[in-house]
Structure 1
Amino acid sequence: MYLTRFRVNTARPGARRLLSSPQSLHAAVMASFPALLPTSTNTGGPRVLWRLDHNAKAEVFLYIVSPGTPDLTHLVEQAGWPAAAASPDTPGWQSRPYAPFLDRLTTGGLWEFRLTANPVHHIRRKDGEPTKRTAHLTPVHQKGWLLDPVRQQRAGFRVVEKPQDKRLLPGGTTDKKYEHHGDRYELTVRDERALSFAKSREDRSPAHRVKVVTVTFDGRLEVTDADALRRTLAQGLGRAKAYGCGLMTLAPVPSPPKPEG
C-alpha cells in the first residue's frame, strides 16, 4: 500500500473545477491507476481512499491511500505546477510505502489523527415509515458519531480523554445528557461542508441529486486493536468514501517541552 500527497494549485481554473466537484475529483483520483476502473467495486480488501485537507485558502492537499503507486501526471497538468514538476526527481507529488508505517502500530500506542467523515444516523419520522439515513448537523452529535463505543471498538482505537487540568468545563461536560461530549475528549470537529451535486451529467433533476455533509475531525487516539486499526486506515471509516470521506491519517504525538534550567 502507498500514501500519496499532492498539493493543489488553487489559482488554476482546473483546480477550482476539481475542488467544486467531488465526482470529478473522484474520477481524477481513480484515473491515477491504469489497472483500476472507476466502476470497480470494493470487496473488503485494500481500496483507493482520498481526502482533501483545506489548511488555508491557498494551501490545499490531496491525500490518497491506495494498493499501488498512483500516476498523478494529469492532476499536475490540471491542478498543479507543471513547470516545477518537469524534473523526474520532482514529479509534483510524493508517494511512500504505507506498510512500514502500518507495521509500527501496536496496541496502547498514542497518535494524533485527522479524519474527514460523513457522520450519519437513521431516523424514522413517524410510526410505520421506513428509516431514512440523515446527516448529523451539530458538532455535539457529529462528535457523538465518532465517539460511539461500538464504532471505535470495530475501528481499533479509542479517542483519549483530556487530563483534568486541561478541561475548561467542570468534569469536561456541557450537559449530563451529553456527558460523553463537551470538553472531555481530545477531539475537535471543524470544516463542515454540505455537498450537493447531480448523480450524472445526463440526469440533473433535483430529485436525483446526491447530498453529503462532511466534517473533519482532529484529535488524539489510543490503539486498542492494531490489526483493526490497520484495516481502518486501509479501508476507511464510515460512508461516502467515493466523495473524499473515510481516510484517517496518523501523526506522532509531540513530545512535551523540556523544563528549563
Structure 2
Amino acid sequence: MYLSRAIPSKAFVLSRLAQQAHAGNVYSQHQLLWQLFPDQSARDFLFRYEQGKAGVCYYLLSQTEPEPGLEGIEVVTKPFRPQITPGDRLAYTLRANPTRMLKSDTPGKRGNRVDVLMHAKYQAPDNESQADMRTIQQQAAQDWLMESDRQQRLGIEFVSTPEVTEHRQHQVYKTYRNNSRTKPIQFTSVNYQGVLQVVHPDRFLEQLAQGIGRAKAMGCGLMMIRRYT
C-alpha cells in the first residue's frame, strides 16, 4: 500500500473544480483525485480532505502508487507497510459514515439501510433540546463504531470509548459530462479519534486497506494510525 498527501497549489484551489471541493462537494474531490490513478477502471484508494493552518490537503491510502503529473497538485508518497504485532496500541483518527441495516417486519424481506445518527434523531422524543440531541447522536455514533462484531471484524479492541470530534450532514450531487445531475445524495460523516489495541494484525491491515464503513467515494473510511506512546 501507499500513503500519500496531495497538496493543491493556491492557484489550483481558486480554480472551479477545486472551489467545488473546497466548498464541500466531496464527490468532486473523488473525481479530482481519481486523476492521480489514470490506469484504474475501479477505485482502489481511500481519501480524506483536510483543511488546516497550512491550507488544503488530501490524504490518500492506495494499492497502487499515484502518478504525480496532475498540474497544480503536489503529491508526496511513501510506501505504507506498518509492522504491527498483537497487543500493539495505536492512536487513530477516522472519518466514517455510520449506517445500519434495520430488520424488516416482513419475513423474508430485506430491511432498510439507515443513517445511524439521523435514525437516532428520529427515534428521540420531539422535546429534546439541541444539546441533548447532540449527545444522543454522539452516543449513537460511538455505539456504532464500538459494536463487538465490528471490532472483531477489524481485528482490534478499542482501549477507550472513541471520541467524536465532529459530525456533519452532507448533500451532494453527481454531475455527468452533459452537466445533468443525479438526485441529491445525503449522508453523515463522523470524525473519531482515540486509541485501539491490535488483536489480529493481518486482519486489521486488510480492513484498513478496504476502509471502514460506507461512502468511501465521499471521503469516508480512511483510518490514520500512529504508534501510541
TM-score (norm 1): 0.70
Counterpart-to-counterpart distance in 1, 2:139 and 2:10: 32
TM-score (norm 2): 0.79
Mapped pair 1:52 → 2:49 = yes
Secondary structure in 2 matching 1:93: strand
Find the partner of 2:88 among 109, 112, 115.
Answer: 109
Q: Contact between 1:10 and 1:16, CA under 8 Å: does it hold in 2?
A: no
Deviations 1:220-242 (A, max 9, x none): 00001101111012111111111
Q: Counterpart of 2:3 in structure 1: which amino acid?
A: L
Counterpart-to-counterpart distance in 2, 1:8 and 1:192: 25
Mapped pair 1:158 → 2:164 = no
Shift of residue 218, structure 1, vs aligned partner: 0.6
- When structure 1 is superposed on structure 2, of 227-236 and 2-11 the one drifting more is 2-11
Q: Contact between 1:121 and 1:135, CA under 8 Å: does it hold in 2?
A: yes
Shift of residue 29, structure 1, vs aligned partner: 1.3
Task: Tell me the residue number matched to 1:140.
Answer: 139
Counterpart-to-counterpart distance in 2, 1:61 and 1:149: 33
Counterpart-to-counterpart distance in 1, 2:57 and 2:144: 25
Task: Tell me the residue number matched to 1:16.
Answer: 19
Deviations 1:32-54 (A, max 9, x none): 012112xx26xxxxx21111234
Shift of residue 9, structure 1, vs aligned partner: 5.2
Secondary structure in 1 matching 2:194: strand
Which stretches in structure 2 are left out of the alignment for 5+ residues?
Answer: 118-136
Q: Identity of counterpart residues, as a percentage?
A: 29
Find the partner of 2:75 among 93, 99, 105.
Answer: 93
Counterpart-to-counterpart distance in 1, 2:157 and 2:114: 24
Task: Tell me the residue number matched to 1:197.
Answer: 172
Q: Counterpart of 1:3 in structure 2: which amino acid?
A: L
Counterpart-to-counterpart distance in 2, 1:106 and 1:9: 39
Find the partner of 1:61 among 50, 54, 57.
Answer: 57
Shift of residue 111, structure 1, vs aligned partner: 0.5
Shift of residue 72, structure 1, vs aligned partner: 4.2
Higher Cα radius of gyration = 1
Shift of residue 61, structure 1, vs aligned partner: 2.8
User: What is the root-mean-square deviation of aligned Cα atoms in Å?
Assistant: 2.3
Shift of residue 70, structure 1, vs aligned partner: 0.9
